[in-house]
Amino acid sequence: MAKWISIAGIGVGAVGIFLGFYRLGSDPTASLAIVTATTVGIVGLLAFVRHVIFWRSDAERLGWETARPDWMFEVGFANLAFGFMGLLAVFARWGIRAQALVVLGYSLYLFQAAMLHGYRYFTDEKRSPARLWSSAVGTLLFAGMMAYFAVAALLI
């Protein structure tokens, strides 16, 4: 199940980034709201469900099986906090700065996750190309595009 939730998160995030770039030139405020609601709000909530509710299949998918999933729950709760704040920043109309800071915070969080996955790829005996491209490179690119929207919004 975690695989499908992960795919859904990638899809929602990709659509959010695409729509964000599509609207950026004509309406930067709407662009940031789209990016915040999708890449932080929905992706964060999906990551919470994947890490906490379906933790066994997520740990297996990542190659990090464990009998003590405390760390997965911690990661899931961090995703829930960011996801909730992303949606709240948009729907409570907290403004561009609040949205930009939530997006920037989540992008930094994901940047660190990408570094961890890259480190694990290069230090594991068994190297999975999926870990390198999806978990490390893909997450790094996603975090970079999110950071672009945050910084662009803060410069308006």
Summarize pLDDT for 70-79 with one digit per residue, the tens.
888 999 999 9
Note the pLDDT of residue 131: 73
Residue 33 is part of which domain span? 2-154
DSSP 27: -
Domain count, the chain: 1
97-130 burial: b if 16+ Cβ within 10 Å, else e: ebbbbbbbbbbebbbebbeebbebbeeeeeeeee
Summarize pLDDT for 100-146 with one digit per residue, the tens.
999 999 999 999 999 998 998 899 888 878 778 888 999 999 999 99
